[in-house]
Chain A
Amino acid sequence: MADAKINPFNLSCPVPRVADDRIVLAHGGGGRLTHQLIEKIFMPAFSNAALEQRHDGAVVPVNGTRLAFTTDSFVVRPLIFPGGNIGDLAVNGTVNDLAMCGARPLLEMETLRTVVASMQQAAANANVQLVTGDTKVVDKGKGDGIFVNTSGIGVIESNVKMPIGPASVQPGDAVIVSGDLGRHGIAILSVREGLEFESPILSDCANLWPAVEALLNAGIEIHCLRDLTRGGLATTLNEIASDRNICIRLEEALIPVDEVVQGACEILGLDPLYVANEGRFALFVAEAQAQAAMEIMRRVEVSQRSVRVGKVEESPGRTVILQSRIGGNRVVDMLSGEQLPRIC
């Protein structure tokens, strides 16, 4: 072994791989490639005032009323997972996108007819009606399973003064999350073939409107709301930091993660900051109103574990920084593709 020498002429590396010339799975992953797809392909083609809000839904004025409109497709596997199924996910996902605009949900449409009981239950809980739908059946092998698309319309009441969206985020704002992170992603992962592990974790899939409604009714001046779906908290905050050229500074010790979720993440090598949620949101609000906002949210079931996790600063721009538990600082980057379980 003593003779083992490193051969300097044998440093092998692959040729560059081009990700721009075709669509790969990561383009749908909610991370950097999804962001690039939106900014490079869709924005230049369809740019308009509503799209440029870069928000979860579009806010469109109609005869003096501000309507919020959103659409979302659901392709989750497995179709039924601990804590929910594709049906209530499809309803809550769209209701939540409207809630993030500060809009009370009115209608649901264009929904594939399946997992009806859950959808009916979720719609009843959110006080929305399914008013139109469409069904397609395709040949076997051309999209097997169930895919659901839901679109929704909401109305923004006159008590919403400031536009709710990234444009209203200011240095000095507090960042509040509405509960512990990562439940939905881990619940899905725990039943995925090849990765089964025993876990009592249920998806957090839930309607967020009651929390938003409570904040609006209390007169909290909401700067921005975002539900923390694909890509989790880290991706959402990166999008806002990047859009507004600001710095969002987090404290790891304040970020709520359930022990079971934390344990699963440790074993699999995942970061809960990037794991998907379906019943959690981030709130940006002026520091002076942060405490009041948290107290209001904690009185609503869906957001009873609300906690302040960070703040907005002016610089360094386009950056999310996290102070670790031991006091070091690091960048929280946007996710590249989906998180993968590690080797050892």
Chain B
Amino acid sequence: MKFLSEYRDPKAAEKLAATIRQKVTRPWTIMEICGGQTHTIVKSGLEDLLPKEITLVHGPGCPVCVTPIELIDKAVAISKRPDAIFCSFGDMLRVPGSAKSLFDAKAEGADVRIVYSPLDALKLAKANPQKQVVFFAVGFETTAPANAMAVWQADHDGVENFSILVSHVLVPPAMEALLSSEQCVVQGFLAAGHVCTVMGFEEYFPIAEKYKVPIVVTGFEPLDLLEGIHMTVSQLEEGRHGVENQYTRAVRREGNRPAQKTISEVFEISPRQWRGLGEIPASGLQLRGRFQKYDANRRFPFRGEPAKESAECISGLILQGLKKPRECAAFAVKCTPENPLGAPMVSSEGACAAYYHYGRRENQSLQPELSGPARR
């Protein structure tokens, strides 16, 4: 398929991998920020091509994983109102709240609908004026413009039965939080390409400078990742720490200015709770001034039981890149996609889900047998 197969070409992949192998002289730990990148790495078996000196650790860039449990509880409570149509992106539905997920609520009769765009939720609100249509606005900078646009449009068209439950988070503050932790093991970052499509990458220069860490804006296909790793390793081996852009076909230095304008018109920066990471100052978005009447949090006051914590789930450590899923005692034993202890096991961008679905769970080799298959 055009614009896809080029970035999955085996010959080009092997060539890039060989260049990386030549360049590496000592161990390096690189974090890919985005869960979409994690999934490409595991799904394409990319680590099979890399030299053993390179360790990839998986970052906090999974919007589903970092949405606070309290907000899932709130979403479930709103969805159970008889007058509500609760709309969400698909992979939020499986995430466990304190007692249940949105899928459970749906199975119990709540009107929970999967939509692909917040504008589709707005359309539903117009078509069902007697209902309250609530959209679960989660995500990083990538989804913020569309969510902002839906609120702006609702305001413009005077649609009063529409609101959004906001859990927007921002990447650069999370990177700073990781880097300022004493436990931090990350020596270089693959920044999330789609976040940078919207925001550009100017805000990464001070971070690279302050923490002396290379940051390479990277795409999502196997060749993008190999090239991003190559650019990061080159900087590390040469003792440089700049911001570079691998994903030039989608990302400009200044980003998408009209999208940024829409975001800042509708949202303002606020502190945010990150599931697994705690509160990070100035790390999220909330609705601004005249748009606050579209805030589901204000429209539907809810006081839930305090969320209970699982002592066994180490998702906080996973999201900081301090542990890998297989290092968790509960992984694939007590914690499975059917009975998840934490969100990374059910999200399509969660590291635990990637390891569970695509990775080896025991110490078995996936390489083909060298001799021909034995016949019984």
Interface residues, chain A, with chain B CB atoms under 8 Å away? 1-8, 10-19, 24-26, 32-33, 170-172, 193-195, 197, 249, 253, 259, 262-263, 266, 268-269, 311-316, 319, 321, 323-333, 336-337, 340-344
Contacts and interface: CB of A to CB of B under 8 A. Distances in A.
A60 to B, nearest CB: 28
Contacts of B91: 269, 340-343
B13 interface: yes
Tell which of A18, A315, A325 has the most Cβ of chain B within 10 Å: A325
Interface in B37-75: 42-49, 63-64, 68-69, 72
A171 B280 contact: no
A17 B340 contact: yes
Nearest to A326: B13
Contacts of B254: none
Given A15-B310, A313-B369, A324-B44, 20 more contacts: A4-B176, A6-B277, A11-B314, A12-B68, A14-B308, A15-B309, A17-B104, A194-B87, A195-B114, A195-B115, A253-B10, A311-B373, A321-B366, A323-B368, A328-B45, A329-B48, A330-B45, A330-B359, A343-B89, A344-B36
Contacts of A332: 358
Contacts of A336: 336-338, 357
Q: Is the interface of A mostly helix, strand, loop or mixed?
A: loop
Contacts of B98: 14-15
Contact of A2 (B64, B72, B210, B342): B210
Contacts of B48: 327-329
Contacts of A14: 69, 72, 96-98, 307-310, 313, 340-343
Closest 9 CB pairs of A and B: A328-B45, A340-B90, A11-B316, A10-B278, A336-B337, A13-B313, A7-B278, A329-B366, A326-B13
A324 to B, nearest CB: 4
B114 to A, nearest CB: 6
Contacts of A337: 94, 103, 337-338
A13 B352 CA distance: 14
Contacts of A326: 8-10, 13-14, 44-46, 49, 222-223
A3 to B, nearest CB: 7
B45 A329 contact: yes
A322 B102 CA distance: 32
Interface string B195-230: 000000000000000100000000000110000000
Contacts of B282: 1
A338 B249 CA distance: 33
A308 to B, nearest CB: 15
21 contacts: A3-B180, A4-B280, A4-B281, A6-B278, A7-B278, A11-B317, A24-B103, A25-B106, A170-B375, A171-B376, A194-B113, A266-B4, A324-B222, A325-B5, A325-B44, A328-B45, A329-B366, A332-B358, A336-B357, A341-B114, A344-B36
Interface in B156-195: 172-173, 176-178, 180-181, 194
Interface in B108-144: 113-116, 120-121, 124, 138-140, 142-143
Interface of B: 1, 4-5, 8-10, 13-14, 36, 42-49, 63-64, 68-69, 72, 87, 89-94, 96-101, 103-104, 106-107, 113-116, 120-121, 124, 138-140, 142-143, 172-173, 176-178, 180-181, 194, 210, 222-223, 275-283, 307-310, 313-317, 320, 334, 336-343, 348-349, 356-361, 364-369, 373-376
A321 B375 CA distance: 19
Contacts of A15: 96, 98-99, 308-310
A1 to B, nearest CB: 5
Contacts of B369: 313, 315
Given A15-B308, A329-B45, A342-B89, A4 B100 contact: no
Given A172-B373, A195-B116, A344-B63, A330 B42 contact: yes
Nearest to A257: B1
B210 A313 contact: no
Contacts of B366: 316, 321, 329-331
Contacts of B280: 4
Contact of B4 (A10, A262, A331): A262
A327 B341 CA distance: 33
